Amino acid sequence: MNTGSLLAADLVIAVLAAAGWLGGGAASAARRRPLALGLAGLALLATLARAITITALARAGWWFAAEKVVIAAPLSLAGVVVAGTRLLRVPGDIRSVAVPMLFAGYAGSGALLVTLLHGYPASAGVGLLAVAGIVAATAVSWRILSPRPSRTLSRAATVVAVAALVAGTGLLVPGATPAAPHDHRYQDASTVGEPTRRFTLTAGTATVRVSGRDVAAWAFNGQVPGPELTATVGDVLAVTLRNRDIARGVTLHWHGYDVPNSQDGVPGVTQAAVLPGQEFVYRFRAGQAGTYWYHTHAVSDVGVRKGLYGALVVRPAPVTGVDVTVPVHTLAGEPLPAPRVEPVEAGEPVRLRLINTDSTTHRYALAGTPFRVAAIDGYELRGPTPLVDTAVLIPAGGRYDLVFTAPATPVALFVDGRAVYSTGPMSAATDGWPVLDPLGYGVGSPAPWSRFDRKFTLVLDRGLDLRGLLPRYAHTVNGATDPDIPPHAVRLGDIVRFTIVNRSMVVHPWHLHGHHVLVLSHNRQPATGSPLWLDSFDVRPGDVWEVAFRADNPGMWANHCHNLAHTGMTLHLMYS
């Protein structure tokens, strides 16, 4: 069983155990003996099963099990001991086991809440709060159900609950979090020489036609996607961004293009958002060939979804053959781009540049020809071998370049089963195709680094965020949400290793600005194929990724989840 399913199974079992005890307690209070004993048996079995899931999770990585081992296991054990010893005495009056069983149920529920609301890292404060809640709930049940509650005992329970509450709250009051990097002065554009390619992108509200339907969109130059920006390696780009009427402001972020920090387009970090009537000129040298894209980074979850994005393609000097860009997007529920059919002469080399501009993964399948994955996230792979009837999964923000030599018969590219590009009429069932694992694809080479100057761990989860006006059930990194996630500090030249762990039940496509990271391993399997230099990769439930990079691009860089609706999952990489 993979770690993601294990996390889900553990949750279900924990719910069963807590519900079994609580139900058993209620049934005994109502003197329904067989039901009470049956539910107690279920709760015992579930608790036993949980010992197995927790052990397996701890073996998959401490991040997955910490609070379960430290908080949930002792609480569940206390519940089993208290309720179990009472049950073993086979009470004449089943009602006498009601409170012990309810106690076990509160203990299980408390532990469950710790996992659901707080998660990793486990802390003494959270543990004490759980104890306070459990003791208080037990004391209340006991006062209600006991024929002659002892004063001393109920006073003792109150004292324990209050003490645990006070101590827990005290331990949880946040210490000074390092200031989030939102108020430093923006740097000037670096001197990159005279522009050789100039573009103007005007952002504005627009009505665009998708699949025969008029859709209200936000568009660059009135079109979705925005114009494809192309350049040749060595060009100096000057892109003027104007905002006509996007009230919440716009910027341009060059996704995957490692530009100088001042050109990175992150409002509040590298520049101020460009408001209606304003403009901003981005300048950078196109030093790296490959497939990239641009998008607004101001309220990006709304802006990108509504259409403020486009392709950025940098080609090496002479290019031959057919070169097609396929930026996939979902606009108002309609899939883009519209299917395109273009005959290609047999023998022509073809390059398909696939871009996923959505917030979730897409599955791409190229039918009718053997092909190679020539590049991922703009970087060429070493020794890619031909693939036949194989699908690729592209994470949110990611790009794959597929190359093939046009056969005499039609070829078609399917995205989630829909044909988006073809060289002639053809149909194919691509559903059952295996999916390429890029970690073992192409020719490997030894990792360039064996020691790391900095090591950081990012634990992705979900939890209660109490810092705002209203509590929110937010996506978290290391237990916090933006802007409260402490930045990671590096020095120029450092070799940095990130370990990224997903404890949650959803995929988080991870994206570091300003750098490509080299994949070292995924779920403990070392990367053996061509070196993979990625800027976007899917961290699935239960995943552990180890990636590394050289800190060679000074500045303050966003490091975030590219499911743009997960707004809290942003932290920063900061050069000191």
**Residue number with CB closer to ligand C2O (66 or 354):** 354
**Residue number with CB closer to ligand C2O (253 or 306):** 253
Q: Which does 508 bind (CB under 5 to 8 A by kind): ligand C2O, Cu ion, none?
A: Cu ion
Q: Which does 540 bind (CB under 5 to 8 A by kind): ligand C2O, Cu ion, none?
A: none
The residue at minimum Cβ distance from Cu ion is: 561
**Residue number with CB closer to ligand C2O (242 or 560):** 560
Q: Which does 513 bind (CB under 5 to 8 A by kind): Cu ion, ligand C2O, none?
A: ligand C2O
Min. distance of Cβ 312 from Cu ion in angstroms? Answer: 24
Which own/partner contact pairs does 184-191 have at CB distance under 8 Å and 24+ positions apart? Answer: 184/556, 186/262, 186/270, 186/271, 186/272, 187/261, 187/262, 187/270, 187/555, 188/262, 189/260, 189/262, 189/263, 189/281, 189/282, 189/283, 190/260, 190/262, 190/263, 190/283
Min. distance of Cβ 512 from Cu ion in angstroms? Answer: 14
Distance between CA atoms of residues 562 and 560, nearest Å: 6
Q: Using an 8 Å Cβ cutoff, are 11 and 115 in contact? A: yes
Q: Which does 497 bind (CB under 5 to 8 A by kind): Cu ion, ligand C2O, none?
A: none
Residues that bind ligand C2O in the complex, under the rule CB under 6 A? 253, 255, 295, 297, 397, 511, 513, 558, 560, 562
User: Which helix (H) or strand (E) element contains residue 334?
Assistant: strand 334-336
**Residue number with CB closer to Cu ion (241 or 561):** 561
Kindly give the pairing relationship between strand 279-285 and strand 236-243: antiparallel
Distances (CA, A) of 433 to 335, 364, 388, 417: 22, 10, 9, 11
Q: Using an 8 Å Cβ cutoff, are 539 and 167 in contact? A: no
Runs of H (alpha helix) within 393-544: none
Q: Using an 8 Å Cβ cutoff, are 253 and 292 in contact? A: no
Min. distance of Cβ 264 from ligand C2O in angstroms? Answer: 8
Min. distance of Cβ 237 from ligand C2O in angstroms? Answer: 18
Min. distance of Cβ 562 from Cu ion in angstroms? Answer: 8
Min. distance of Cβ 253 from ligand C2O in angstroms? Answer: 5
Residue 58 phi, psi (nearest 5): -65, -35
Min. distance of Cβ 511 from ligand C2O in angstroms? Answer: 5
Q: Which does 572 bind (CB under 5 to 8 A by kind): ligand C2O, Cu ion, none?
A: none
Q: Which does 253 bind (CB under 5 to 8 A by kind): Cu ion, ligand C2O, none?
A: ligand C2O
Min. distance of Cβ 375 from Cu ion in angstroms? Answer: 25
**Residue number with CB closer to Cu ion (550 or 566):** 566
Min. distance of Cβ 396 from Cu ion in angstroms? Answer: 9
**Residue number with CB closer to Cu ion (161 or 474):** 474
Residue with tokens 């350049």: 231
Q: Which does 329 bind (CB under 5 to 8 A by kind): Cu ion, ligand C2O, none?
A: none
Min. distance of Cβ 34 from ligand C2O in angstroms? Answer: 59
**Residue number with CB closer to Cu ion (511 or 522):** 511
Q: Which does 566 bind (CB under 5 to 8 A by kind): Cu ion, ligand C2O, none?
A: Cu ion
Residues that bind Cu ion in the complex, under the rule CB under 5 A? 508, 561, 563, 566, 569
Could you please report the per-residue DSSP string of 402-426?
EEEE--SS--EEEETTEEEEESSS-
**Residue number with CB closer to ligand C2O (301 or 437):** 301
**Residue number with CB closer to ligand C2O (358 or 543):** 358
Q: Which does 295 bind (CB under 5 to 8 A by kind): Cu ion, ligand C2O, none?
A: ligand C2O
Q: By C-alpha distance, which of 512, 484, 510 is closest to 264?
A: 512
**Residue number with CB closer to ligand C2O (303 or 397):** 397
Q: Which does 86 bind (CB under 5 to 8 A by kind): ligand C2O, Cu ion, none?
A: none
Kindly give the pairing relationship between strand 508-512 and strand 536-539: antiparallel
Q: Which does 503 bind (CB under 5 to 8 A by kind): ligand C2O, Cu ion, none?
A: none
**Residue number with CB closer to Cu ion (295 or 508):** 508
**Sheet containing 372-376: which strands, arranged edge to edge?**
334-336, 322-331, 349-356, 399-405, 372-376, 379-380
Q: Which does 399 bind (CB under 5 to 8 A by kind): ligand C2O, Cu ion, none?
A: none
Min. distance of Cβ 397 from ligand C2O in angstroms? Answer: 5
Residue 346 phi, psi (nearest 5): -55, 140
The residue at minimum Cβ distance from ligand C2O is: 255
Residue 302 phi, psi (nearest 5): -85, -50
**Residue number with CB closer to ligand C2O (26 or 331):** 331
Q: By C-alpha distance, which of 108, 79, 125 is closest to 11?
A: 108
Angle formed by the axes of helices 124-145 and 151-172, nearest 10°: 160
Min. distance of Cβ 259 from ligand C2O in angstroms? Answer: 12
Distance between CA atoms of residues 229 and 199, nearest Å: 8
Neighbours of 45 (CB within 10 A): 14
Q: Using an 8 Å Cβ cutoff, are 192 and 501 in contact? A: no
Contacts of 404 (CB under 8 A, 6+ apart): 349, 350, 366, 369, 370, 371, 372, 411
Contacts of 333 (CB under 8 A, 6+ apart): none
Q: Name residue 156's amino acid.
A: A
